[in-house]
Structure 1
């Protein structure tokens, strides 16, 4: 379950919130002035998120290296053509 709280409530209930995350595997979204600014998640989920981010960074780096010699206009035209083609499909 995801719980949303403001920063003041989070600060006042830190121990309880940590227990929610640790024992119930809940996540807490912390807001300031009505805008989400942070999230408290269990350590295992955080580790998975970091691994996924690292894999994504590696993949985007390999794609960028593979297309480094392609002029930007040519690459954008190819992307536009593929997007248009996929939108035509049912």
Structure 2
């Protein structure tokens, strides 16, 4: 194991709260990554869609997904400052 990993392991043992915070941050990062991928997929679907009504619905979904991702990024920033 490298030094950085050993230090992280030691910090985990010393502080249960830090470990829980780290797990929470990692989980949020995973969700944000999934949201970003879905956002890219939706953008591609919007470009390919011919039906204007369906395109409008997909655009609304994209707006909602983007708002959720923005909130997640803000939450992650807050957790990193603590």
TM-score w.r.t. length of structure 2: 0.40
Q: Higher relative contact order by CA 8 Å / sep ≥ 6: 1 or 2?
A: 2
TM-score w.r.t. length of structure 1: 0.38
Structure with the largest fraction of helix: 2
Structure with the largest fraction of strand: 1
